[in-house]
Amino acid sequence: MDWREEGILLAVRPHGEHAAIIEVFTRDHGRHAGVVRGGAARRMAPILQPGAELDLAWRARLEDHIGTFEVEPVRSRSAILSDADALAGLGAVCALVIRSLPERDPHPQLHAATRALLDAMAAGAGDWPLAYLRWELGLLEDLGYGLDLSACAVTGSAEGLCYVSPRTGRAVSRAGAGDWADRLLPLPPCLLGQGPATAEEIVAGLTTTGHFLARLAADLADRPLPEARNRLVARLSRRI
Amino acid sequence: MTQADRDIERLIELMARLPGLGPRSARRAALHLIKKRGQVMAPLAEVMGRVAATVRDCAACGNLATGDLCDICRDPARATGEICVVEDVADLWALERGQVFRGRYHVLGGTLSALDGIGPEDLRIPVLIRRIADEGVREVILALGATVDGQTTAHYIAEALAEAAVEVSTLAQGVPVGGELDYLDEGTISAALRARRRV
């Protein structure tokens, strides 16, 4: 059994004294783990940093074995290290992918979005928080928890949408919300694809996606949202 | 199996737990110790027993000490108003080998790691904040690894100290002494280029 493709490094754990077990996110093989022999060596440390793009050659005797990776660096994205917000964003992306995606299940669209998002963070693009918010929407969509923001769940109208139902994930208009408005989640225009967005709108959008990500995390493993994601939201909230 | 055989087996088992040693090399090392029990094994056992009984964490900085405070924290000449924050005692030893930094240290005992569940409360960050106020610190130098976890921790500490009247700096990143550009990874080269200075 073997394959070769590029992937994003999500996490590294030491395995014995000399090896490491890495988790990567690839287009065709999804989230995939494997052993890197010599992965604990100092010369490998700059290569095996989360967020790095790697050329991966995986090999195992049987399909269900963890297998071994041969890795070559493609892009390090090390510029993220010097930007505190982007570093928090990278932590949130890696933690959410690890916690949410089933192993060896391809999610090509989400992979492409993840790659673009990390590239934007590394390039210091000012609008990456909005791209991150849309990435969370894409993650929910890919895992069957997508929000239906096309029309109001109460009136059927596509006008004046400003809330999301925390139960169904469907949009609700101001007219349709009535007395229930304070129990609904915010729907900032940026969640409807209308940008650019202010920091306040992005944090409001993250409140809404966070509600459904928390539900996803509870359904998958009865765990809360990853701390890294909470840390990112706290950082972005300080921009308001 | 006699008691002596059992003890030797136990010795090999314990030595095999040391970094760099596997069962086979532990057997070889144990055999060497037994052969040289007068010259090596007995003094080694004595020193190990003494170190195990006396060494503890320095109450102030987290360095290894034989009393409440380590030698560096006890030395008044090192109260320069500078604290260098490191991840581990091994990092402190590395900086001491350089003999360049003459201030005091603060050993965190690890770095923040979301995946391993290590949060700020698991590190010695609250003690650091207390020390800054108590010791009249002017500058905190964050000497943490240029890794995702190291830099996440550095940014967290810098933010935690934002309100304190103290200057926060980090180590430079770039070309190491004796390093040739051709052999450097892309991340180091881009960090070096970003941190370039006029000559």
Under 8 Å CB pairs connecting chains A and B tally to 62
Per residue in B143-197, pLDDT tens?
Answer: 999 899 999 999 999 998 988 889 999 998 888 888 888 888 777 888 888 888 8
Q: Do A78 and B190 touch (CB under 8 A)?
A: yes
On whether both A110 and A227 belong to a single domain, the answer is yes
Q: Which CATH number belongs to the domain containing residue A35 in this structure?
A: 2.40.50.140
Q: Is B83 in the same domain as B131? A: yes
Q: Which residues of A32-60 are buried (b: 16+ CB within 10 A; e: fewer)?
A: bbbbbeebbeeebbbbbbbbbbbebebeb
Measured between its terminal Cα atoms, the distance across chain A in Å is 51
Residue B181 belongs to some domain of the structure:
no
Q: Do A139 and A104 belong together in one domain?
A: yes
Distance from CA of B119 to the nearest CA of A (A): 9
pLDDT of A195 reads 73
Rounded to two decimals, the ipTM of the complex is 0.82
Judge if A12 and A32 occupy the same domain: yes
pLDDT at residue number B6: 92
- Domain boundary among the residues A31, A61, A76 is at A76
Cβ atoms of A106 and A97 within 8 Å: the answer is no
Is B197 a domain residue? no
Per the domain annotation, does B49 fall within a domain?
Answer: yes
Is B121's Cβ below 8 Å from some Cβ in A? no
pLDDT at B22 over 90: no
Best B118, B144, B148 member to test A by mutation, with max A CBs in 10 Å, is: B148
pLDDT at B72 over 90: yes
Residues 127-166 of B with CB under 8 A from A: 146-148, 151-152, 155, 158-159
Among partner residues A76, A87, A228, which is closest to B155 by beta-carbon distance? A87
Q: Return the CATH number at A143.
A: 1.20.1440
Q: Is residue B179 part of a domain?
A: no
**pLDDT (0 to 100) of residue B119:** 82
Q: Please tell me whether residues A207 and A98 are part of one structural domain.
A: yes
Give the helix ranges, DSSP H, for chain A.
84-100, 108-123, 128-142, 174-177, 199-221, 227-237
- Report residue B47's pLDDT band, with 50, 70 and 90 as the boundaries: very high
Q: Which residues contact B132 (CB under 8 A, 6 or more apart)?
A: B83, B140, B161, B164, B166
Average pLDDT, chain B: 91
Does the beta-carbon distance from B148 to A81 stay under 8 Å?
yes
Q: Are B140 and B74 in a shared domain?
A: yes
Residue that finishes a domain, picked among A27, A52, A76: A76
Q: Are A60 and A67 in contact (CB under 8 A)?
A: yes
Q: Do B148 and A91 touch (CB under 8 A)?
A: yes
Identify whether residues B43 and B77 lie together within a single domain: no
Q: Would you say residue B1 has pLDDT above 80?
A: no
**Which percentage of chain B shows pLDDT scores above 70?**
100
- Are both A135 and A194 inside the same structural domain? yes
Same domain, A61 and A128: no
| Pair B100, B147 in one domain | yes
Tell me whether residue B198 is in a domain. Answer: no
CB-count burial class (<10 Å; 0-12, 13-18, 19+) for A72: exposed
Is B97 within 8 Å of chain A by CB?
A: no
B114: chain A residues, CB-CB within 8 Å: 91, 94-95, 226-228, 231
Residues A140 and A199 reside in one and the same domain: yes
Q: Please tell me whether residues A15 and A133 are part of one structural domain.
A: no
Residue B165 lies in a domain: yes
Residue A157 falls inside a structural domain: no
A interface toward B at CB cutoff 8 Å? 11, 17, 45-47, 49-51, 73, 75-76, 78-79, 81-82, 84, 87-88, 90-91, 94-95, 98, 226-228, 231
Interchain pair A46, B155: CB under 8 A: no
Q: Is residue A162 part of a domain?
A: no
Same domain assignment for residues A48 and A108: no
Does residue B89 share a domain with residue B45?
no
In a domain, A177, yes or no: no
pLDDT of residue B183: 83
User: Do residue B190 and residue A228 have CB atoms under 8 angstroms apart?
Assistant: no
pLDDT at B79: 87
Q: Which domain holds residue B80?
A: 69-170
Residues A37 and A67 in one domain: yes
Task: Count the domains in chain A.
Answer: 2
Positions in chain A short of pLDDT 50: none
Residue among B19, B114, B187 minimizing CB distance to A46: B187
- Chain A: residue whose CA lies nearest to B152: A87
Q: Please state which of the ranges A112-116, B18-22, B111-115 shows the lowest mean pLDDT.
A: B111-115
Q: Is there a single domain that holds both residue B124 and residue B163?
A: yes
**Residue B185 and residue A47: Cβ atoms within 8 Å?**
yes
Indicate the number of domains in chain B.
Answer: 2
Q: Which of A6, A19, A137 is nearest to A32 (CA)?
A: A6
Domain boundary among A76, A91, A110: A76
The full length of chain B comes to 199
Asked if residue B137 belongs to a domain, the reply is: yes
* Residues A30, A127 share a domain: no
Is B177 a domain residue? no
In a domain, A54, yes or no: yes
Expressed as residue numbers, the domain containing A71 is 2-76
- Provide the CATH number for the domain around residue B33: 1.10.8
